[in-house]
Amino acid sequence: MFYQPWIRNYILPKWEFTTIDAMAGRPINIEHWMKALKTLDGARPLAPKSKAHIKSLMRFRGEAKTHAAPLRSYRPFSNSRSDVLPFLTMAQAKRRRERTKRFEEQAKAERARDQRQIREAQRKSKQAQREAAAAKRKEAAAHLRAKIIQRTASRRQQRPGPASFCLENADNLARRRLATN
């Protein structure tokens, strides 16, 4: 991981055996240490960006089971504003974690609500498409029925005879033709 050299070269030599309580109780010690950090060869001060990386690694999220856990048991988290944010006490970390959890639950509920609305809109759209298709089929059947009736009427006029053809036959013929199309 990208943060392991920072931990190995800068944090562990100074803070490996220090408990979280001891560190959280005196954040001024950490601030002084941060200001005094130098490059590995000790020739020049560490760059502000490098100090920001180290500071982000030194921030705690309250992940330990006890307050006296060694630094080794903590994992860093990224924060682009880590150079401006102060160190957190265990109580502050716990409050922040609870607030984050609450926000995540709210976001999850909002996503679920949005997905329900999308599904409902899709269902309504499909229903409208089905209704439009049914109306189109009904209109086509009515048009075909009218056409068949018109043809049979014109044939009757051409060939007078028994009127064996009725509206029910026209409906049946229209349904058969629509089914084959």
User: Pick from 69, 88, 107: which residue ends a domain?
Assistant: 88
115 and 175, same structural domain?
yes
User: Pick from 67, 88, 109: which residue ends a domain?
Assistant: 88
- How far is residue 176's CA from residue 181's CA, in Å, rounded to a whole number? 9
For the chain, the 3-state helix, strand and coil shares in percent, each to the nearest 5, are: 70, 0, 30
The band of 161, judged by pLDDT with boundaries at 50, 70 and 90, is low
Nearest Cα residue to 23 out of 14, 8, 84, 77? 14
142 and 109, same structural domain?
yes
Supply 171's token pair: 């409906």
156 and 121, same structural domain?
yes
Query: How many domains does the structure of the chain reveal?
Result: 2
Highest mean pLDDT among 17-21, 69-73, 124-128, 137-141: 124-128
Q: Show the domain range for 48.
A: 4-88
175 and 112, same structural domain?
yes
pLDDT of residue 111: 93
Bin 132: left if φ > 0, else alpha if -120 < ψ < 50, else beta: alpha
Mean pLDDT value across residues 140-149: 85
- How far is residue 28's CA from residue 42's CA, in Å, rounded to a whole number? 22
What percentage of the chain reaches a pLDDT higher than 70?
Answer: 72
Decide if pLDDT at 34 tops 90. Answer: no
Higher pLDDT, 76 or 32: 32
Nearest Cα residue to 3 out of 79, 96, 62? 79
- Please report whether residue 93 resides in a domain: no
Decide if pLDDT at 4 tops 50. Answer: yes
User: Pick from 88, 117, 146: which residue ends a domain?
Assistant: 88
Taking the model in full, what pTM does it have? Answer: 0.34
